[in-house]
Structure 1
């Protein structure tokens, strides 16, 4: 009988994870599911007012979670962008192109309110393990 890999929970140290009861990422079934990341710098607890800077920090946060899971950005197969103001989305494209342009995952953009007014973008990704 084949061994079953254990489910792995990954935390960024964000206070929201403990308060709400979720993980930054979960490794299960050959995939890494990275929850909605925002532009907070988890080391300082700070967030920029700029949607572009928030997008850059969000992608850095996603990369950190993926690496802790044993994956890389190139393993991303699905991405979902959530913005309170869809008019901000085009200004994020150069950052997204830099991080995902060669990967070209399936993607969806949704306009919705986020947990805090200061948050201008939230991004979640799914990555497939062993895509080396």
Structure 2
């Protein structure tokens, strides 16, 4: 029986060890990307008030984590889009559709009451399965 090592992908966030999480985890061909918030490189919120811009930023962060884990957006099998205002789902869907028009993973949109930072309007989670070693 082949065992697959567990590979942790870090975002560098100081919250990772405090909370006990990783940006992504790869185990064999499976990659899970944790809830990804619209955090700009300077630590502020990207696209304040703009669901589309925040979704794009979340996807950029998640795509970078996938790449570090040896996967691509084409390997994504499931996404979860969490919004604080479900009536704005079309803005998030537009960004999602731009990245996943051909891949078309299973996808769920849900409304949540809030996130850790009240300026975040959206978070995304991704699951992928890759043939790449």
Q: TM-score, normalised by structure 2?
A: 0.90
Q: Show structure 2 runs of 5+ residues with no match.
A: none
| Residue of structure 2 in register with 1:24 after alignment | 23
* Paired positions, count: 129
- Structure 1 outlier segments of 4+, above 2 Å: none
SS in 2 for 1:27: strand
CA distance in 2, matches of 1:81, 1:94: 12
Aligned positions of 1:30-69 closer than 5 A: 30-41=29-40, 43-47=41-45, 48-49=47-48, 50-69=50-69
Displacement after TM superposition at 1:15 (Å)? 2.9
CA distance in 1, matches of 2:98, 2:15: 28
Task: Say what the alpha-carbon RMSD is for the aligned residues.
Answer: 1.4
| Residue of structure 2 in register with 1:83 after alignment | 83
More displaced 10-residue stretch of structure 1: 66-75 or 88-97: 88-97
CA distance in 1, matches of 2:10, 2:36: 12
SS in 1 for 2:121: coil
| Residue of structure 2 in register with 1:92 after alignment | 92
